[in-house]
Amino acid sequence: MQCEADSRDRAVGRDSRLLAASACCATLGAACILLAACSAPMVRPSADAAIARTPAPVVVSDLAIEPKTVELPIPSSPWPRLRARYAMPGCDYSPDVRQFAAQMASSPFHLAVALKDAMPFLLVVTEQIEKYDMPGEFAFLPWVESSYTMVPAQGDGVAGMWQLMPFTARENGLRVDGEYDGRLDVAASSRTALALLKQYKESFGDWRLANMAFNAGENSVRAALGKQRSIAPAGIAKLRLNQVNYEHLIKLLAIACIVSKPERYRVELPEPVAEDATALLELPAPLDLHLAAKLAGMDYPRLQRLNPAYLQGRMPEGGPFHLLVPATRRAAVEKTLGMLPQYAWRSWREAKLQRPQSLDTLAMAYDVDAVALAQINRVPAATATLPAGTRLMLPARGEESAPAPVATATPASTAGAGSTCTVRAGDTLWDIANRYGVRMEDLLHWNRMSRNATLRLGQRIVLSAPALDAMK
């Protein structure tokens, strides 16, 4: 796994952060959690492929879905669920555990606020611990490591709430590159970290040694054990390991101690509300996170906080394709995505209408469902005419990846009756109408075309009223 030098440096770095904040650990946790919303850069999506093709919409779910927010029951409290799974001594391990617990709880209010901010992530980790039958204490390991903060990567250092090294992450199946960093993926990084802990338990036979191996590195613990294949619990404290590694275990047990006996430390543990519950959507294609935020009815930074692993604002072509969203909005996201062609999921942008347009006409021009476009943009009716200056989220048109559409004609504002243009590569009726300042409805009438007409290269398109129409 990790070399001992890297592990030691990582442990010392984490320890200095936590010890410096021991008197107000929870306050630091709250501040870090707020910073996580900005941990990945907000990058405007690049244009997707040209929209000449119109594949059939991909239905993500066959559920009967209501587009509005769905009322869900409040998630069950994580605290009794975790206490029931405790497997280590906790408060009774040593006086050091109780002393450090008192330091952490020196500001009970701020500790409770920080735990409340971490609740969406804590619930995800709690579910993973139950799924993989792990000790409840390990739900607090991300708190020891990072105060449940999605720490962004810096060079070859640790990242994410579990503080995994890039080598360790890749060796255990997590993708780490410029588009996606699995260490910042709440669900994926939790699965990897818990699998590592279980592997260490199988190697060393004790969950405390498993925790120390996670912090110090497997080789460090193996070297400390020497030829011993197993060790009595009382002998763990006598192993020749760095003091930082022992303190890491003490801190984990101290947090578990506070949760087991919050009244002793005057801490009122926060309880989850419906908004804390999240749902993981597995998708068949990449999705623009700005579009996902619109679908989920939330601002982009909040969605990004739940999905910081996607570093470019959208899912990479090679995957993974999953999204963590508020459970109350899962149904709405699934339904609207099911109305859109799959190719239109990947790249969206904000556009400003230069003149009044109906949403129905826009939907036809962009080959998307009008109802879906209305729901994404919170427009009440698909047939409504939107005034000039309206800002809308629309699929990217592929300007950067396809040849620029070219037409030869004089703009309609100065052209005489019967002026035309020639269709070139990439042209659509919408492009031509916008370029020459004509209404889509007029363009269809003058050319006797339907809204779903397909253009051919070299085709002549009439841009103004024919002579007979002009004299009427």
**For residue 433, pLDDT beyond 60:** yes
Residue 9, pLDDT score? 46
User: In Å, how far are 24, 285, 297 from 150, measured between CA atoms?
Assistant: 20, 25, 23
- Half-sphere exposure (CA, 13 Å, Cβ side) for 159? 28
Residue 76, pLDDT score? 95
Residue 408, pLDDT score? 36
Residue 211, pLDDT score? 95
- DSSP-assigned letter for residue 420: E
N-to-C CA span, the chain? 82
Residue 165, pLDDT score? 95
The residue with greater pLDDT, 355 or 435, is 355
What superfamily does domain 420-470 belong to in CATH? LysM domain (3.10.350.10)
**For residue 453, pLDDT beyond 80:** no
Could you give the CA distance from residue 330 to residue 336 in angstroms, rounded to a whole number?
A: 10
Maximum C-alpha span of the chain: 102
Task: Give yes or no for a contact between 220 and 213, defined as CB atoms under 8 angstroms apart.
Answer: yes
pLDDT in tens, 14-45: 444 433 334 333 333 333 333 333 333 333 33
pLDDT in tens, 205-245: 999 999 999 999 999 898 888 887 777 777 787 788 888 88
Q: Name the band, by pLDDT with cuts 50, 70 and 90, for residue 397.
A: low
Mean pLDDT estimate for the chain: 79
User: What is the CATH number that goes with domain 4-58+72-265?
Assistant: 1.10.530.10
Residue 8, pLDDT score? 42
Give the pLDDT mean for 104-129: 96
CATH topology of domain 347-400: Membrane-bound Lytic Murein Transglycosylase D; Chain A (3.10.350)
User: Out of 139-148, 214-223, 249-258, which region has the weakest mean confidence (pLDDT)?
Assistant: 214-223
pTM as predicted: 0.70
Which residues on neighbouring strands pair with residue 27, listed in sequence order?
none
Q: 274: which 2 tokens?
A: 């419906």
Residue 166, pLDDT score? 95
Residue 116, pLDDT score? 96
Residue 382, pLDDT score? 61
The residue with greater pLDDT, 244 or 194, is 194
Number of Cβ within 10 Å of residue 284's Cβ equals 12
Residue 454, pLDDT score? 78
pLDDT in tens, 409-422: 334 344 444 588 88
Q: Give CATH 3.10.350.10 domain extents, the chain.
A: 347-400, 420-470
Residue 457, pLDDT score? 80
Q: What is the CA radius of gyration of the chain?
A: 29
Could you give the CA distance from residue 378 to residue 357 in angstroms, rounded to a whole number?
A: 16
Closest CA to 27 of 128, 113, 140, 92: 113
User: In Å, how far are 262, 306, 433 from 79, measured between CA atoms?
Assistant: 10, 22, 61
- Half-sphere exposure (CA, 13 Å, Cβ side) for 11? 25
Q: What percent of the chain has pLDDT over 90?
A: 46
Closest CA to 306 of 283, 289, 331: 289
Q: Name the band, by pLDDT with cuts 50, 70 and 90, for residue 424.
A: confident
Q: Give CATH 1.10.530.10 domain extents, the chain.
A: 4-58+72-265
Residue 161, pLDDT score? 97
β-pairing, 420-422 vs 460-462, is antiparallel
Could you give the CA distance from residue 63 to residue 73 in angstroms, rounded to a whole number?
A: 18
Give the pLDDT mean for 115-142: 97
